[in-house]
Amino acid sequence: MFSINTLTSHVLCHMPLYITRMRTNHFGMADSGWPGCAKSLKGVILDLCGVLYDSGEGDGVAIPGSIEAVKKLKESDLQLRFCTNETQATREKFVAKLRRLGFDISVSEVFPPAPAAIAVLKERGLRPHLLVHDGLLPEFDGVDKTNPNCVIVGDAAENFSYQNLNEAFRVLIGLEKPVLFSLGQGRYYKETDGLKLDVGVYMKALEYACDLKAEVIGKPSPTFFRSVLNDMGLKPHEVLMIGDDLLNDVGGAQHCGMKGVQVRTGKYRNCISAELGSFEAS
């Protein structure tokens, strides 16, 4: 299995060889531009679920070698951030879980969509109706939710009942100018007991019901990636994004000018990635 740990070793120990190999043999998608990256790599952004751990019952489980990989990256000269579309818990609770799993990660290093969404609400004077996981609600404690003039949909999981989706639909269809924010647009993710539908599926459902286009906050939104780059003080070509999702992690990063690599853990499925191109461990 090609994991974050094998990839980290490649990046840190055999950079020139690794870059050459990816360019010539294994990684079709990121072909052009890799020589530039080899000279200038200054930071790494890691996806979390599917790269460092698999979610599921309780805290989920760390992917073998991933705790060590984070440790090695932190000991290197590279800057490190964690970019996630996790919206089932507040940032604090989410980081506490990661620390219980054994990762040396702090709140300020982690970028999830909810705080970015709250900034957008403030900027545009919007009051949300929330269709999100119970665990995320405290994040919106200070936000005015009376007489809502937009809807925010997150990975609500069991809260995606017919009644709740219908309620969000009725708010949207009742607005003169309906605004739908989606905290990510993932199709599905992997938990320890199997694949689970992600927020993007319900975003599409509401888009179709109301004949509108949602505004995505989170990966693969370039605005979202740029806020992380801004925090690192680095330029896109200086940063490598590593994730298990070809569209939201790898594609989103590439669209933003960064390099993107897909690991073969998490939601990675051979039949899909084979068509689109993914990194092949040598």
Query: Contact residues for a second copy (CB under 8 A)?
Result: 156-163, 165-166, 169-170, 173, 187-188, 194-197, 200-202, 204-211
CB of 209 to a second copy, least distance (A): 5
For a second copy, which is the closer residue by CB, 26 or 196?
196
CA 46 to CA 261: how far, in whole Å?
10
Q: Tell me whether residue 125 or residue 208 sits nearer to a second copy (CB atom).
A: 208
| CB nearer a second copy, residue 125 or residue 162 | 162
Q: Give min distance, CB of 258 to a second copy, in A.
A: 24
User: In terms of CB distance, is 34 or 188 closer to a second copy?
Assistant: 188
Nearer Cβ to a second copy (139/198)? 198
Query: What is the edge-to-edge ordering of all strands in the sheet holding 128-131?
Result: 128-131, 150-153, 180-182, 215-216
For β-strands 150-153 and 128-131, DSSP reports them as: parallel
We find the least distance from the C-beta atom of residue 186 to a second copy, in angstroms, to be 10
- Closest CB 99 distance from a second copy, rounded Å: 28
Written as one letter, the residue type at 43 is G
Among 280, 217, 220, smallest CA distance to 246 is for: 220
Core vs surface per residue 51-73: b (16+ CB within 10 A) or e: bbbbbeeeebebbebbbebbebb
Closest alpha carbon to 238 in 39, 9, 25, 7: 39
Shortest distance, position 228 Cβ to a second copy, whole Å: 26
